[in-house]
Amino acid sequence: MTVHVVVPTFRESGLVGPFLESWDGVRSVDLALHVVNGNPDDETSTLLSEWQGRHSVTEHRGHPGLFWTGLVALGLREVARVAGEGDFFLITNIDVRPAGDPLSAILAQVPSPEGHQVAIPVTGSGGKVSSSAVVVRSWALSLNRHLGEGQTLDEMPRDACLAATYLPTRFLLVPAKALSEGLFPDEVNLPHYCADYEYTNRLRLAGYAPLLFTGAHATLVEENTGFDTFLAKTSLWSRIRKAWDIKCPYNLRYRYRFVRLVYPRAAFLPGLCSHFAKIFLEIALGGHQLRRLRKN
C-alpha cells in the first residue's frame, strides 16, 4: 500500500525543504510525494531535483492560472494514473507539518478507513487547533460548528473518530479508488475559496463519510496563511476592493458558487441569504468589531 501525498505550491521555495523533511518520521507506509508546482523552473524545481533519492518525490508542472484547485486536480490525475489497489491519497498544504507518523495511527485506529475520508486536527500558535472539521448545524442559517477550534489537543477527546459534514484539506486522507470513480475538485467553479469543503462534501455524498480523527495531529506554519477571514487590520475601502479577489474568503462570486454546489436544494435560497448577510457584516465591520461581537 502506498499513500500518495499531493501538495500544491506557488513560489514558496523556503517552505518546500522543511515540508519534505517533516515526512521523514513516516515509516509505517510507502510514501509517494507529489509536489505540484504552479511556477515551474523556479527555485522549487531546483530544490526538488536535489531531493531525488531521499524520498519518492515527483514534481508536476502546473502554471499560475490553475490556482489551488487546479494544482490539486493536476496532482490527483497523476495519482489516479499510478495508484494501485488499496492505495490512498492525502491532500495537504506546503505549510503543514505532520507530527510523528500520523498515518500509522489513522490506518491502525480508524475503523474501515477505506470507506471514509479522514482529517486530523492541525494546530497553530500556542498549540491550539486552527483547522479540524465542520459540522453543519443549520443549512438554512449557515450555522456551523468547527470541532475543537481554539482548543488545545488535550482538551479534545483522545483517539476519537468524530463525524463531520465538511473537512478541510490541510491534512485529508482518502482512498485512491475515489479517483477512479471520477471524484476530483471542481476547478472551474471553485478555483480557490471553499474548494476544499466543496470537494469533501462531494466525497461525502459519494459515500466517503467524513471523520475527524483526534489520535494524530499536524502543525501549521502560520506565516504563510492568506487573507484572514475577518481581516482585523483593514480599511473599509480595502475590504470592498478585496471582495473580488480570488483568494479572499468573502469573495462574492465564489461564495455564491459554493452555496450553489454544496447546499441542499431546499436550503439554497435561505443559505445564500445568510451567507451574503455574513459577507455584508465582514465588509462593513471588519475584524476587530466582529471579534468583539462574537465575544459578546
Average pLDDT over residues 179-199: 93
Residues 6+ apart with CB under 8 A from 78: 34, 58, 60
**Same domain for 195 and 244?**
no
> Does 139 reside within a domain?
yes
> Does 227 reside within a domain?
no
Summarised one tens digit per residue, pLDDT across range 193-251 is 889 999 999 999 999 999 999 999 999 987 655 444 444 567 788 888 888 888 787 88
The boundaries of the domain holding residue 284 are 236-295
> Does 57 reside within a domain?
yes
> Does 254 reside within a domain?
yes
**Same domain for 286 and 214?**
no
Total domains in the fold of the chain: 2
Summarised one tens digit per residue, pLDDT across range 26-73 is 989 999 999 999 999 889 888 888 876 667 899 999 998 899 999 999
Summarised one tens digit per residue, pLDDT across range 62-97 is 998 899 999 999 999 999 999 999 999 999 999 999
pTM: 0.91
**Same domain for 184 and 268?**
no
- Which pLDDT score, from 0 to 100, does residue 250 have? 81
**Same domain for 26 and 172?**
yes
| Domain end among 171, 194, 222 | 222
**Same domain for 270 and 215?**
no
| Domain end among 222, 255, 276 | 222
| Domain end among 173, 190, 222 | 222
Summarised one tens digit per residue, pLDDT across range 117-162 is 999 999 987 889 989 999 999 999 999 999 998 899 999 999 999 9
> Does 284 reside within a domain?
yes
**Same domain for 38 and 63?**
yes
